[in-house]
Amino acid sequence: MSEYNWCHGPSCHTNKTQDRIRGVKGSKVLRTRKIKENNWNENRWDRYFCSQNCYDNFTNKYLRQVIAIAPRTECLETPIEDPKKVTHTSESRWGNHSWTTTEINVVDNA
């Protein structure tokens, strides 16, 4: 059985796209998009929103309520080993090139 959700974007139904046009001649509307539930959108935002834009519009409109679900009152930290500077070199017929990166490894508590 297929389940559908209406897009939760607050202004989804105002976007002027052909796929949103519904109704009979003389009584047309732009309708909120319908999203089909499937294995790929389970536990993902795209099960309830037709686009990143609709997701952003919803989040911006209801930001305080969304944050209130799980407020972050303290920072989180991930223990890491002392970072190492690693120099890389690349030699080619156009010349030699070197660059430095910082290697960051998470402390393994296993």
For Zn ion, the binding residues (CB under 5 A) are 7, 9, 12, 33, 50, 54
Query: Least distance to Zn ion from the beta carbon of 90, Å?
Result: 46
**Lookup result for tokens 């309520």:** 65
Tokens at residue 107, please? 């402390």
Taking the least distance from each CB to Zn ion, the nearer of 28 and 33 is 33
Nearest distance in Å: CB 7, Zn ion: 3
Q: Please give the biggest Cα pair distance in the chain.
A: 70
Which of 9, 37 has the CB closer to Zn ion?
9
- Residue 43 CB, shortest distance to Zn ion, in Å, is 19
Distance (Å) of CA 72 to CA 45, 62, 68, 76, 81: 21, 17, 9, 9, 25
Write down the least CB distance from residue 63 to Zn ion, Å. 18
Radius of gyration of the chain (CA): 24
Q: Which is nearer to Zn ion, 52 or 90 (CB)?
A: 52
Nearer to Zn ion, 33 or 93 (CB): 33
Question: 66 by DSSP, 3-state: which?
Answer: helix
